Structure 1
């Protein structure tokens, strides 16, 4: 195991900045995912760690060693690529042992390491097979075993499951988690699939346009996103966003208002603020009794329903006129649309006028221009005010000797 530290790492290609001042510290034995959209710089970041690309600025440390200028073979890392890249003319044993044979390891040591790796990735009895005789998942296991036999301090995995079918990807995610527990080593994993990042990692490093947006445990990124980009990228379907203007009593949008205490936001009245709420935190008003704090009722019209088996995605139009059918991502980001998730036994239908409420404890506010998060969950000022009014009325009745009718 080894700690990996990126200190002000920057990579430029002429006038293009692929990685911009990256600062990350990965602990011994940690499983961390670098996640972000295509072209965001996550693979370039991994390549600088592997030594395949030299950073323009900054330093990279593995353990106590500055490896910034060391060749890949001397860094104590081993990499698994998206392209499995097995030698087709070699059997499994020869593929797995190839790196060890290049380094002139003793045959007994090679046999020991290959057999141990084969047991870890469950390839016993397959060492004499050709790659063409293996399934996609088995070929990926061979590539992982090839990395294991080097006994590296750090495993680097660049989207190793991207070329597998959906069912096999789910299975291999579980296998990689078991592998991490068994080897108890540091794993840095690159993916654009947030499901992989959420389910496998100890922490997620969310990257956009070469810049680190947030590094935190998966549920922290989900429940307390650092900015609007993280909020929109983490979670499927994406978070709904509605832009509005800050007033003395809350937020005013084109379609509904939210009341809350604005004193702690440190923003002037009239500032542009974006509200974010996830589909599962929007409820039909008739079924929202269990919410401890709900928004005022919002009137909408159902547009499209998408039954998913365990839930139904409901596209809500906040205008009287229907809009054209949108994709999940488009609907969740449109200012006149909300995407709501309901139970599969819901009787809601298309083109139906509905009333919905938002769970105020799950509403996020972002500064519109910078995208920075302002607050996660808004105080229910209205409910508090009602409670105070009720208490005052009760005390007044007691003091006057009156009774409630």
Structure 2
């Protein structure tokens, strides 16, 4: 096992910057996932750790050793790829042991390692089978066992579940978590699937356009996103965003005002443009919202589209007198719309007038220019010195 450290890693392909000055440290035995959209640089970053790609600038350390110029075979890493790439003419035993035989281990050591790896990934009794006799999940286990037998310091997994069906992906997620718990080896995992990243990782590293946007535990990225990109990428469905302006009494959008003391928004002043963000589960019908400790004033809206999902219903709301936008545009990103999540028992119909409130404790503010987070949660007093939503009479009594 070993920790991994990247120092100012940059990779250029001509004028294209695939990885842009990425620095991070992964602790010994930690499971860290690189997540982001296609082309964000997550696989290229992993390949610099593996030695498959040499960075244009920066250094790579595994343990206490700099490995920037070392060949992949000398780095103490093992990779599992999206393409399982088993040898079709070899049985499971031969596939798992192939790398060991290349390194001329003796038969006794090969047998011991293969049997141990097969036991870990639950392939007992299958070592004499051919790859075409295995299911997709079993073939993926063979590829993982092939990596285990090397006793690597670091496992590198590049979208290993992408080619599996949805049900099998969920099952293999739990298998990989169990494997990590048993082996305790450092794991770097690459995926574009945020469900994999959120459920499996000790920390996730969110990348976009080659740059590291945030590295933190999954729930920190969800509840306290560092910027607009992380807020919009982490979470399904996406966070609602609305263009807004900081005013003396709070944050003003085209359709509602969220009260707060503007002096408690660091780095912003009255008149500054900001972006307000709130997740669908933090939008509530005004009726029955008594359990919300810090609600906003009621906001008038009209239901547009209802999407029953089984355990919840997604409700697309149009604010004010606006019209529903084209379905080609994400309603959650439009300032005149909100996406709300309600329980299956909620009785709503399309084209119904409703009033909703936002849970201020989970409202986020971002700098409209830089996208950097300013505030997570608005539960302070307004500029008059009283809790927003109370009258001066109530405050004095």
Q: Aligning the two structures, in what range does the TM-score lie when normalised by the shorter sequence?
A: over 0.9
Equivalence for 2:260? 260
**2:4 counterpart of 1:4:** yes
Equivalence for 1:274? 275
| Cα deviation, residue 65, structure 1 | 1.0
Q: Structure 1: how far apart are the matches of 2:199 and 2:39?
A: 23
Equivalence for 2:62? 62
Q: Structure 1: how far apart are the matches of 2:108 and 2:334?
A: 63
Q: If the length of structure 2 is used for normalisation, what is the TM-score?
A: 0.97
Equivalence for 1:247? 247
Q: Structure 2: how far apart are the matches of 1:187 and 1:235?
A: 23
Q: Structure 2: how far apart are the matches of 1:11 and 1:130?
A: 40
Equivalence for 1:186? 186
| Cα deviation, residue 326, structure 1 | 2.4
**2:289 counterpart of 1:288:** yes
Aligned to 1:375, the other structure's residue is in SS state: strand
| Cα deviation, residue 390, structure 1 | 2.7
Quickly say closer, same or farther: Cα 1:391–1:295, change in 2 above 3 A: closer
| Cα deviation, residue 388, structure 1 | 6.4
Q: Structure 2: how far apart are the matches of 1:117 and 1:313?
A: 44
Q: Structure 2: how far apart are the matches of 1:78 and 1:322?
A: 54
List aligned pairs for 1:181-260, cutoff 5 A.
Answer: 181-260=181-260
Equivalence for 1:152? 152
**2:128 counterpart of 1:108:** no
Which structure has the highest helix share of the two? 1
8 Å contact from structure 1 (residues 242, 276) kept in 2: yes
Aligned to 1:241, the other structure's residue is in SS state: strand
Equivalence for 2:394? 390
8 Å contact from structure 2 (residues 325, 331) kept in 1: no
Aligned to 1:287, the other structure's residue is in SS state: coil
| Cα deviation, residue 248, structure 1 | 1.2
Equivalence for 1:316? 317
List aligned pairs for 1:95-134, cutoff 5 A.
Answer: 95-134=95-134
List aligned pairs for 1:330-341, cutoff 5 A.
Answer: 330-341=330-341
Instruction: Report the number of matched residues.
Output: 392
List aligned pairs for 1:22-61, cutoff 5 A.
Answer: 22-61=22-61
Equivalence for 1:301? 302
Aligned to 1:381, the other structure's residue is in SS state: coil
8 Å contact from structure 1 (residues 293, 380) kept in 2: no
Q: Deviations over 1:217-245 (max 9, x none)?
A: 00000000000100000000000000111
| Cα deviation, residue 391, structure 1 | 5.1
Q: Deviations over 1:317-362 (max 9, x none)?
A: 11424314526x8011112111000000000111100000000000
| Cα deviation, residue 380, structure 1 | 4.8
Quickly say closer, same or farther: Cα 1:391–1:240, change in 2 above 3 A: closer
Max Rg structure: 1
Q: Structure 1: how far apart are the matches of 2:23 and 2:199?
A: 24
8 Å contact from structure 1 (residues 304, 325) kept in 2: no
More off after superposition, 257-266 vs 144-153: 257-266
8 Å contact from structure 1 (residues 361, 377) kept in 2: yes
| Cα deviation, residue 295, structure 1 | 0.6
8 Å contact from structure 1 (residues 261, 379) kept in 2: no
| Cα deviation, residue 387, structure 1 | 7.3
| Cα deviation, residue 193, structure 1 | 0.3
Equivalence for 1:403? none
Would you identify which runs of 4 or more consecutive aligned residues in structure 1 move more than 6 Å? none
The gaps in structure 2 that reach 5 residues or longer are none
8 Å contact from structure 2 (residues 250, 257) kept in 1: yes
Aligned to 1:23, the other structure's residue is in SS state: strand
8 Å contact from structure 2 (residues 322, 336) kept in 1: no
Q: CA RMSD of the aligned region, Å? A: 1.3
Aligned to 2:346, the other structure's residue is in SS state: coil
Q: If the length of structure 1 is used for normalisation, what is the TM-score?
A: 0.95
Aligned to 1:283, the other structure's residue is in SS state: strand
The gaps in structure 1 that reach 5 residues or longer are 395-405
Aligned to 1:132, the other structure's residue is in SS state: helix
Q: Structure 2: how far apart are the matches of 1:148 and 1:334?
A: 48
8 Å contact from structure 1 (residues 303, 325) kept in 2: no
